[in-house]
Amino acid sequence: MISSRPRRRSHPRAALWLGLTAAAVVLFGVGVAVGEALHDTPRPGGTRTYVRTLHPLRLAPSVPTRTITVTSSSPS
């Protein structure tokens, strides 16, 4: 005798979970990309800091050089 009810397959449920997981991974990746793009964009009118190294000039031979030591004590 042939059954009138169709067989129930478990594949559509697994495919649904696989699709939802793939969509979540893609959505997470897009969120990270947008966050990094917003983080990398500088704000207009903000402050800028430049760091550069200044090298001391040589003293003329006529200027005497001496070493001075300063000692300070902390107040008690």
DSSP line for 20-63: HHHHHHHHHHHHHHHHHHHHHSPPTT-------PPPPPPPPTTS
pLDDT over 60 at 60, yes or no: yes
Q: What is the mean pLDDT of residues 56-65?
A: 73
Query: Is residue 52 assigned to a domain?
Result: no
Q: What pLDDT score was predicted for residue 25? A: 98
Cβ-Cβ contacts under 8 Å for 65 (sequence gap 6 or more): 59
Domain count, the chain: 1
What whole-number distance in Å separates Cα of residue 11 and Cα of residue 13? 5
Query: Is residue 50 assigned to a domain?
Result: no
pTM of structure: 0.43
Query: Is residue 59 assigned to a domain?
Result: no
Show the domain range for 23: 15-40
Q: What pLDDT score was predicted for residue 49? A: 83
Q: What pLDDT score was predicted for residue 1? A: 56
* Percent of all residues in the chain with a pLDDT value above 70, rounded to a whole number: 76
What whole-number distance in Å separates Cα of residue 54 and Cα of residue 51? 10
**pLDDT tens digits along 43-57:** 777 777 889 998 888
